[in-house]
Chain A
Amino acid sequence: MHILSSILFIALTVAGFGFFAVNAKKIYRNIKLGQSVNRTDRSSERWRNMLLVAFGQKKMFARPVPALLHFAIYAAFMITQIELIEIFIDGVFGTHRIFKESLGGFYTFMISLIEILSVAALTATIIFLSRRNLLKLPRLNMKELMGWPKKDANLILIMEIILVLCIFTMNGTDEVLYNMGKSHFEGQGSFNFTISQFIGPAVFGSFSEGTLHVLERVGWWGHFIMVLSFLNYLYYSKHLHIILAFPNTYFAHIEPLGKFDNLQAVTNEVKLMMDPNADPFAAPAPDADAAPAKFGAQDVQDLNWVQLLNAYSCTECGRCTSSCPANLTGKKLSPRLIMMKTRDRLEEVGKNIDTNKGTFVDDGKTLLNDYITPEELWACTTCNACVEACPIDISPLSIIMDMRRFLVMEQSAAPMELNTMMTNIENNGAPWQYSQMDRLNWKDEN
């Protein structure tokens, strides 16, 4: 019997992690479809940013209520990983609570801590569910979330509840069995775990020994299977942030928010244009790129890999959209939707590559127009409210800017008034049509 369950355990583990690895590789490949960008400089600042923003959740605390609730789930999740080590050892070797003997009082402390955090997490999860479904918080109930995104969010919360219930079923029944001297753990007494020593006898006290043994196993296997399911569900959901928030904050834009990148391809061209010694008819240098550089982004492959990582990391919380001046005044632009659509398109491109044996075959679609419309892009005031609001340093603004660049520089498709403004700058060095010679007239006016 031990051998059979060990084999089943090992098989499930290998299948669970294997399947996840296959999908994780796909995510990695899709992110690498992006253009290169150097985000490995200033590593000590980057580590610091990751520690503060991802590990310490600094930006979440701009809204203290959800921040505390989220922190409860986060802390429970982190600490429960320690218990998983024991589950794996017990699962493989058919042991029961392998660490209890050797760790003694510390074991009781750890499991108690997990239990306390689990109760906090359960409470938080229930509050989160009601914020979404009963209180109907505006940013969690916008039209853009109808359908799958809403189901996805609720499913994650429900899975968390099941996970916590499994933990308490496992510990609670084992407590009762141990009281009776019938636990798989040798001896008789109480585990003294803060919560289950009370709720165990209260809930399961009247159950027969046989039922208790079955329930204990249901809790144990349920916990383990939920962990594997959750791990594999990540790939299909918005919940990848539990892993990707860390690289995402490490590779984030750590410059002042107002500093937009200067396109190197443009710099090269402008320098050539302004160089009086440049020969306009010279043959291109032999090492010049075969394909001329594309200015701005039309599709996901034109974005850089950090922007694509951003898209996978987004958990659709909508803090960006709820602080966006365009969205607040009823325009079509929603920074969250920019991230969701970027991910949708990236996944579509990924599937295209999978079905076409490793190469992307043109499907006649692009991120621009088929997913994100110029109307959305032109509504942005570049105010950085979305970037500031994002708890994990995602920049919807950088994607908007790169797509604007494509519209203007590759398609000359700026709104007409902006073309007038740009012509003025070209002709007289100001966005309005005034002579450069009048620049100092203000001095004598009153």
Chain B
Amino acid sequence: MSESLVVPTMAEMMAQGKQPEILFWVGSAGSYDDRAKKITRAFVKILNAAQVDFAVLGTEESATGDVAKRAGNEFLFQMQAMMNIEILNAYEIKKIVTCDPHSFNCLKNEYPGLGGNYEVIHHTQFINELINEGKLKFSENTYKGKRITFHDPCYLGRANKIYNAPREVLQKTTATIVEMKRHKSTALCCGAGGAQMFKEPEKGDMDVNVLRTKDAMETNPNIIATGCPYCNTMLTDGVKFSHKENEIQVLDIAELIANAQDL
């Protein structure tokens, strides 16, 4: 099934003299990582279905610098940040939505100090708003009888205290929501944060993602839902590690809703 997505860029918008309501910050993972690209496409499907007036930066977007900052390279982070801020400010961006909690945190909390002030929201919050406002309809019965557990991404949850938006979205499906023992403020990291995604772990007894996937599997889920492309990769690997990939799906909130749409 090949659907064509409507993805205007800021440059095109500007050429037509238009200013979109919201910028969709795709992020590096969402642009290049094969698994994360599916999340990006699912989210755009939602934006299209809800007729959201949005645009992306496209080839003008560059890494937020978040990973560089967590790795300790403040220079590289600030160079990236200032470059991005110049572009964002030139387009007079006021509001940004992103599927990546790391970009979300960085844009929301760390860009203001360098001259980038925007209203930044995470896509799980945005999807929740769209549903609440009646702009997004989906078939509530798609997940009937399924057990879904939500893994809190650290940079959405603990870092920014957003625990409820993704859960509210899930509650709007008729699925059974089951919580892991460690959830919300005590949720265990997936193991990818702090630039770990890009390096081998230090010596230990086990990988963090395996432990976190164990937490999730204790709830006997059909679906492990999350809201971060890195968590998604780590948990998908964790499920494969336990040879459960035929029984348990790891899906982003955007994918869950996009798949439940009557389109």
**Residues of A bordering B, CB below 8 Å:** 62, 255-260, 262-263, 266-267, 269-271, 273-274, 295-296, 323, 325-326, 328-333, 375, 378-385, 387-389, 401, 404-409, 414-415, 417-418, 420-422, 425-426, 429-432, 434, 436-446
Contact of B73 among A388, A422, A429, A434 (CB under 8 A): A422
Rounded to whole angstroms, the CA-CA distance of A330 and B67 in the bound complex is 24
Rounded to whole angstroms, the CA-CA distance of A104 and B7 in the bound complex is 81
Q: Residue of A at shortest CB range from B210? A: A329
Q: Determine whether B14 belongs to the interface, using a CB cutoff of 8 Å to chain A.
A: no
A421 lies within 8 A of B198 (CB): yes
Contact of A442 among B37, B63, B109 (CB under 8 A): B37
B58 lies within 8 A of A431 (CB): no
Q: Determine whether B188 belongs to the interface, using a CB cutoff of 8 Å to chain A.
A: yes
B32 lies within 8 A of A430 (CB): yes
B202 lies within 8 A of A256 (CB): no
Contact of B71 among A257, A295, A329, A422 (CB under 8 A): A422
A381 lies within 8 A of B189 (CB): yes
- Chain A residues with CB under 8 Å of B63's CB are 425, 429-431
- Chain B residues with CB under 8 Å of A432's CB are 28, 32-33
B82 lies within 8 A of A274 (CB): yes
Q: Residue of A at shortest CB range from B109? A: A259
- Chain B residues with CB under 8 Å of A375's CB are 202-203
Contact of B26 among A274, A380, A439, A444 (CB under 8 A): A439
- Chain A residues with CB under 8 Å of B61's CB are 429, 439
Q: Determine whether B92 belongs to the interface, using a CB cutoff of 8 Å to chain A.
A: no
Rounded to whole angstroms, the CA-CA distance of A325 and B151 in the bound complex is 14
Rounded to whole angstroms, the CA-CA distance of A380 and B40 in the bound complex is 28
Which of B138-146, B155-163, B247-255 contacts its partner?
B155-163
A329 lies within 8 A of B32 (CB): no
25 pairs of residues in contact across A and B, judged by CB atoms under 8 Å: A256-B161, A258-B159, A258-B160, A260-B110, A262-B110, A266-B78, A270-B79, A274-B83, A326-B204, A326-B208, A328-B211, A329-B201, A329-B211, A331-B204, A382-B154, A409-B74, A415-B199, A418-B71, A418-B199, A421-B195, A425-B65, A431-B197, A440-B7, A440-B31, A442-B30
- Nearest Cβ in chain B — how far from A125, in angstroms? 28
Given contacts A258-B109, A385-B158, contact A431 B56 (CB under 8 A): no
Tally of B interface residues using CB under 8 Å? 76
Q: Determine whether B185 belongs to the interface, using a CB cutoff of 8 Å to chain A.
A: yes
- Chain B residues with CB under 8 Å of A258's CB are 105, 109, 155, 158-160
Rounded to whole angstroms, the CA-CA distance of A256 and B112 in the bound complex is 13
A266 lies within 8 A of B158 (CB): no
Given contacts A417-B199, A425-B68, contact A330 B154 (CB under 8 A): no
Q: Residue of B at shortest CB range from A270? A: B78
Rounded to whole angstroms, the CA-CA distance of A440 and B204 in the bound complex is 39
Q: Determine whether B218 belongs to the interface, using a CB cutoff of 8 Å to chain A.
A: no
Rounded to whole angstroms, the CA-CA distance of A269 and B77 in the bound complex is 13
Given contacts A430-B62, A442-B26, 4 further A-B contacts (CB under 8 A): A262-B78, A326-B202, A329-B211, A330-B203
Contact of A257 among B79, B113, B159 (CB under 8 A): B159
Given contacts A425-B65, A439-B58, contact A381 B75 (CB under 8 A): no
A384 lies within 8 A of B159 (CB): yes
Contact of A378 among B37, B65, B202 (CB under 8 A): B202
**Residues of B bordering A, CB below 8 Å:** 1-5, 7, 9, 26, 28, 30-33, 37, 40-41, 44, 56, 58-59, 61-63, 65, 67-76, 78-80, 82-83, 105, 108-110, 113-114, 154-155, 158-161, 185-186, 188-189, 191-208, 210-212
Q: Residue of A at shortest CB range from B65? A: A425
Rounded to whole angstroms, the CA-CA distance of A389 and B75 in the bound complex is 30
- Nearest Cβ in chain B — how far from A395, in angstroms? 12
A437 lies within 8 A of B59 (CB): yes
Rounded to whole angstroms, the CA-CA distance of A375 and B204 in the bound complex is 11
- Chain B residues with CB under 8 Å of A329's CB are 201, 204-208, 210-211
Rounded to whole angstroms, the CA-CA distance of A221 and B31 in the bound complex is 73
- Nearest Cβ in chain B — how far from A430, in angstroms? 4
B203 lies within 8 A of A409 (CB): no
Rounded to whole angstroms, the CA-CA distance of A442 and B43 in the bound complex is 12
B211 lies within 8 A of A439 (CB): no
Rounded to whole angstroms, the CA-CA distance of A256 and B113 in the bound complex is 14
Q: Residue of B at shortest CB range from A408? A: B72
- Nearest Cβ in chain A — how far from B164, in angstroms? 16
Q: Residue of A at shortest CB range from B105? A: A258
A381 lies within 8 A of B76 (CB): no
- Chain B residues with CB under 8 Å of A436's CB are 59, 62
Contact of B194 among A269, A271, A381 (CB under 8 A): A381
- Nearest Cβ in chain B — how far from A79, in angstroms? 32
B202 lies within 8 A of A379 (CB): yes
A259 lies within 8 A of B189 (CB): no
- Chain A residues with CB under 8 Å of B71's CB are 404, 408, 414, 418, 421-422
- Chain B residues with CB under 8 Å of A406's CB are 72
B110 lies within 8 A of A259 (CB): yes
